[in-house]
Structure 1
Amino acid sequence: MRKSTQKYKVFLLGVGAQKAGTSWLHEQLHRRQDADFGFCKEYHILDAMTLPQFEHFRPTHAAPWKWRTWRRRRFLTDSSRYFDYFSRLLNKSSIQLTGDITPSYSCLSPETMAWVRQEFDQRNIATRVVFLMRDPVERILSQQRMKLRKLGELQPDMERNHLLRTAHKLKQQSSQRSDYLHTLKALSQAFAPTDLFIELYERLFTEPVYEQLCSHLMVPYQQPNWSHRVNESRSTTDLPDDVLASIGESQAAVYRGVADQLPELDLCRHWPTASRWCR
């Protein structure tokens, strides 16, 4: 039987979703005096270690030497170093909270998630999960805009054409990072409900929800910087209905599944784009 988590320090396992406020959340928590998230936001250890599609996050020996790369390589060579690293951060008397917020952890298997919980249990550390979901249509649009911005191609015509190609690809094969149903199922198999904080990106930037988050992480509420959004991608053009409809069609099963499982989140209200196209 697990000991009372009230006596534990806390490891935050952030499992996404991508483009759903995880960078903002990391920034708010890492600046706290009672938190230390170490040298990364996205460590990409658990995904690179267990999922073939994320092996590209494994540093190669040919890569330029950097301290962070060297340390990540050591974590991947011996997973105990990963868990011991966060345990050492929490050994500081002033630190109550640490964590790894890597959105692609949303793709982890329930077995991997349970393994993480067990490793920290053995170190007398409570694992608390945070999973933030964003309107699946808006999430895909934001992700694609980010890609175009990095390429210097975030212009109306390029955005339309790129999204048309994306919509076609999504019809052929769904995006793993958008598969909220997989993540919800894996979390329910690996963790107790009290270990989970499942919320919407669209509700995150409110005091009641952020207070609940702090309580979940067993740290006192501290006013975040509401005005600063990290890596936010806004639309540069009005998208044709056929593009939105095509993307919406690809996300319909996800939308309906989340609505059925979590009716209290009121998706029709908070995911207006998805509710328009995903029925």
Structure 2
Amino acid sequence: MTDPTSPLTTAGTPGGFLLGVGAQKAGTSWLHQQLHSRPDADFGCLKEYHVHDARTVPELSRFRQVNIQLNKPSSWIQPRTWLRQWFIHNPERYADYFAWLLQRPHLRGAQIRLTGDITPSYALLSAETLQEIKASFEQRGIPVKPVFLMRDPIERIISSQRMKLRKQGFRDAGLEVETLRKRVAKGRGLRSNYGQTLDALDQAFGLEHCFIGLFETLFTPKTYADLCRYLTIPYQEPAWTEKVNVSATATVIPDDLLAQIGQLQAKDLQTATKVLPALDFNHLWPTASRWCKR
């Protein structure tokens, strides 16, 4: 949701904090790369800080577990891991860090107008946690700009599963289908609930104060310009052809498997069409539109 009349940030006003809450495999890595490379933006040393999910989502508690063995140098804590733990144990340090990024002298010679944390699993945060984040930054005079990007839910799951396999070095089409079947048999995944995320954002910020977009339209001048306007930064042409964490394949997914995924993800399509009624989801999400039962 964007307000086209919203003015750009001026030198006398504080910069903003982009709170990226997903979705996974919906263009968040590309977006981070485009924004962080700007001379007027600084997202710090990480893309995914995994602070608030580690603190509040039991299934993601692994991010706050550090197993150090003094006789194994490979297990010693790295600076970025140390920073994450520092934030997890005191969330106020997290807000202080990003406030510092907005204020510190910058090598690029430009005033920093935007910082942020784009962690897709923040899609699981509760409204209460989001409200805590909002309050913490507002106490420092920094507006929080939530951004949530959705993708055809069937295509997103296929892409996510494929990425996991490729990280393990597997590129076999048969194995891709087999592992996808196993995943679907477990039911809806942890990150496969657009409605949950949108409800939490609405309670914490009001959806009219959030940028809700689609992966399928992100790589277009109009949507990207809308996003820059929402973030109150000047439009700067991004690297449209740059690919980040792409997992394209020619593997054909069997119809019966697509139908199973469609049954699981039908609510995501219903939610998206309700929140963004002006969009043609038959065109933008053809896979979900065919296989999800509305």
User: TM-score, structure 2 length as denominator?
Assistant: 0.89
1:19 match: 25
**Structure 1 residue corresponding to 2:103, chosen from 80, 83, 91:** 91
2:142 aligned partner = 125
Moved more, 152-161 or 95-104: 152-161
* Residues in 1 aligned to 2:260 and 2:206: alpha-carbon distance in whole angstroms: 36
Q: CA deviation at 1:137?
A: 0.1
Indicate conservation of the 8 Å contact 1:148/1:154, yes or no.
yes
Checking the alignment, whether the CA contact within 8 Å between 2:8 and 2:234 is kept in structure 1 is no
Residue 266 of structure 1 deviates from its aligned partner by 2.2
Distance in 1, matches of 2:250 and 2:76, equals 36
Q: 1:176 to 1:61 in 2, by over 3 A?
A: closer
More helix as a share of residues: 1
How far residue 71 of structure 1 moved from its aligned partner, in angstroms, is: 1.2
Q: 1:257 to 1:46 in 2, by over 3 A?
A: same
CA positional deviation for 1:195: 2.6
Question: Is 1:214 paired with 2:211?
Answer: no
2:84 pairs with 1:72: yes
Tell me the equivalent position of 2:171: 154
> For the residues of structure 1 that align with 2:23 and 2:134, how far apart are their CA atoms?
20
CA–CA separation in structure 2 for the residues paired with 1:242 and 1:178: 20
Equivalent position of 1:253 in the other structure: 267
CA contact (8 A) 1:146 1:233 kept: yes
What is the root-mean-square deviation in Å for CA atoms of aligned residues?
Answer: 1.5
Structure 1 equivalent of residue 72 of structure 2: none
Given that residues 127 and 195 in structure 1 are in contact (C-alpha distance below 8 angstroms), is that contact kept between their aligned partners in structure 2? no
Aligned residues: 273
- Aligned partners of 1:180 and 1:162: how far apart in 2? 23
After superposition, what is the alpha-carbon deviation per residue over 1:213-248, rounded to whole angstroms, capped at 9, x for unaligned?
A: 001111000000000120011123111111111111
* C-alpha distance in structure 2 between counterparts of 1:166 and 1:134, whole Å: 18
Aligned residue type for 2:94: Y
Residues of 1 paired with 2:137 and 2:103: CA distance? Answer: 13
More divergent stretch after superposition (149-158 vs 114-123): 149-158
Aligned to 1:188: 202
Tell me how far 1:67 sits from its aligned partner.
1.0
What secondary structure is seen at the aligned counterpart in 2 of 1:175?
A: coil
Match for residue 200 of structure 1 among 203, 206, 214: 214
1:135 to 152, 160, 164: 152
Q: How does 1:42-53 map to 2 (within 5 A)?
A: 42-53=48-59
**8 Å contact 1:117–1:127 — kept in the other structure?**
yes
1:34 aligns with 2:40: yes
Preserved CA contact (<8 Å) 1:59 1:69: no
Residue 99 of structure 2 aligns with an amino acid whose one-letter code is S
Q: What is aligned with 1:165? A: 182
Question: Contact (CA 8 Å) 2:17, 2:114: kept in 1 or not?
Answer: yes
Write out per-residue CA displacement over residues 24-67 of structure 1, whole angstroms, 9 at most, x where no aligned residue: 00000000000000010000001001111110011415141211
Unaligned runs of 5+ in 2: 1-6, 69-74, 106-110
- Following TM superposition, where does structure 1 have runs of at least 4 consecutive aligned residues deviating by more than 2 angstroms? 4-8, 192-195
Name the CA distance, whole Å, in 1 between partners of 2:154 and 2:245. 17
Which SS does the other structure have where 1:28 is aligned?
Answer: helix
SS of residue paired to 1:199: strand
What is the rounded CA distance, in whole Å, between the counterparts of 1:263 and 1:132 in structure 2?
16
Q: Deviations over 1:245-269 (max 9, x none)?
A: 1111110122112212321232221
Q: Tell me the TM-score normalised to structure 1 length.
A: 0.94
Moved more, 254-263 or 132-141: 254-263
Q: CA shift at 1:5, angstroms? A: 9.9
Gaps of 5+ in 1: none
